[in-house]
Amino acid sequence: MIGREAYLVNKKIFQQTEFYLGIIIVALSFFLTLINPKFLTLENWFDMLRSNTFLGILALGELVVLISGGIDVSFTATATIAQYIMGLIITTYYIDNVLVAFLIPIPIGIALGAINGALVYYTKVHPVIITISTLNAFFGFLMFFSGGKWIYNFPPSFRSFSRLQVFSLVNARGVEYGFSIFILLWIILAIFTWMILKYFPVGRKIYAVGGNLEAARRAGFNIFRLQLFVYCFMGALAGLASFVNASLNQMIQPNSLVGGELDILAAAILGGASVFGGSGSAGGAFLGVLLIAIIKNGLILMRASAYWHEVIMGAIIVAAAGISAYQQKAKAKREGEILVP
């Protein structure tokens, strides 16, 4: 589990993850359309994308943490706290301003992320341990202080924002549907993440740290700042995602998000991020979530029991990992390496 770095030759799940994911998505879509033509409609896709925005944004954050060689399982608690405080503020003070609501969760997420980052750096203990602890601490305190109370009855602007669409169309039955603004938010964040990882030095340094921490240290990279950045980035995205979640549901239930951490981790890994660090891409994280969304959606359209979703998801993850492990072994054999311990 934890950092057996140097021996592994190839840490990605697929050779070029995005490519494989793309093929699988296309194939799956084709197959599903045959079964139920309603699959390949804009209405369906807009709906599907909208309901997975929360997952998608969080996967982007987790991706960045994974690339740096770390991991974060506390973001659900971070998200819950961020949205709860936002909810409290805008309902208590009746702030009828969506922008304010949008901006509140972000610094909260960053602050909580900073705690993670600092602890990870100073204790030098594996981030899984740290973030499990902060998950408990954050969530415990939140539930204690909030008493588990739900928040609803948001100001009108908050309500109407959730219905905002970038453009809308009318379907055959005269019902309106549209490209939700949240999907746009997700796409913007994905592009933003992609740019940071590819064109900004901080992004490249994150890959470097994930690839070889000791070398990064020796090269003079400021490890503290980088780790802080990574966890704060996750925190910020957790805040944003929590806004989306609160907005879509028009309700805040403090105990609804916590428990779903591992699903988001799975999405990021499916998208090509390695638990050992050093690899992964925003495109992959996007496609990974898209794949999961299609599977869920496909099951619904096939009128299959929603219970099968997890069975299939789990099987896919195991299969994907199995293929990758096999590829690594085959490569080692080809290159005449003697041992794969």
Partner 1 sequence: MSRNPFSKSKNPQLLILVIILVAIFLLFGLLTKGKIFELHSLQAIAFQLPLLGLLTLAQMSPMLTGGIDLSIVSTANLSAIIIALSMTQFNFSPFLAIILGLVLSLGLGVLKGTLVAFCSIPAMIATLGLMIFIRGVALVITKGYVIAGFPQSFLFLGDGTILGIPMPFIIFLIAAAFMSLILNRTPFGIQLYLLGSNPTATLFSGVNNKRVIFRVYLLCSFLAGVASIVMTARFNAAQAGYGESYLLLTVLACVLGGVNPSGGFGKVGGLILSMVVLQVVATGFNLLGLSSHLASALWGIILVSVILTNRLIFARET
Partner 2 sequence: MSSKTEQVQKKPYLVLKNVSKRYGGVVALEGVDFTIFPGEVHGLVGENGSGKSTLVKIITGVVRPEKGAEVEVNGQKVEINNPFDAFRLGIHVVHQDLSLFPNLSVAENILSHRYLEKTQKLINWRDLKAEATRVMDKLGVGIDPETEVNRLSVADQQLVAILRAIASEARLIILDEPTSSLTRREVNRLFAFIHELKARNISFLFISHRLDEVLEISDRVTVFRDGKKIGTFQQEELDKKRLSFLMTGKEISSRPSSVRALSKKEEIMRVENLTKKGHYEKVSFSLYQGEILGLIGPRGSGRTELALTIFGLNPPDEGKIYFEGRPQIINSNQVAINLGIGYVPENRLIQGLVLDHSVEDNLVITVLRQIIKGMGLVDLQKKRAAAEKAVREFNIKTESVEVPVKTLSGGNQQKVVLAKWILTSPRLLILDTPTHGVDVAAKESIYQSIRELSQRNLSLIFISDEETEVLNNCDRILVMKNGQIVGEFFPWETREEELRKTILQ
| Residues making contact with partner 1 (CB under 8 A) | 1-4, 73, 119, 122-126, 128-130, 132-144, 258-259, 262-263, 265-266, 269, 275-276, 305, 307-318, 321-322, 324-326, 328-329, 339-341
- Give the span between the Cα atoms of 116 and 125, in whole angstroms: 11
Query: Between 147 and 336, whose beta carbon lies closer to partner 2?
Result: 336
Beta bridge partners of 206: none
Please state at what angle helix 75-92 crosses helix 53-67, rounded to 10 degrees.
130
Structure token digits, residue 129: 């341990």
**Residue 94 binding partner 2, by CB under 8 A:** no
DSSP state of 154: -
Contacted by 219, from partner 1, partner 2, none: CB < 5 to 8 Å by type = partner 2
Residues 6+ apart with CB under 8 A from 200: none
Contact between 174 and partner 2 by CB under 8 A: the answer reads no
Binders of partner 2 among residues 13 to 72 (CB under 8 A) are none
What's the min distance (Å) between Cβ of 100 and partner 1? 29
Only one of the segments 105-113, 194-202, 230-238, 291-299 lies at the binding site for partner 2 (rule: CB under 8 A); that segment is 194-202
9 and 331 Cβ atoms separated by less than 8 Å: yes
225 binds partner 2 (CB under 8 A): no
CA of 331: how far to CAs of 41, 224, 318, in Å? 42, 36, 20
Query: Hey, what are 334's tokens?
Result: 């080809």
Binding mask 286-315 for partner 2 (x = CB under 8 A): ------------------------------
> CA end-to-end span of the chain, whole Å?
14
229 binds partner 2 (CB under 8 A): no
Helix (H, G, I), strand (E, B) or coil at 179: strand
Residues that bind partner 2 (CB under 8 A): 6, 9-11, 198-202, 204-205, 207-208, 210-212, 214-216, 218-221, 278-279, 336, 338-339
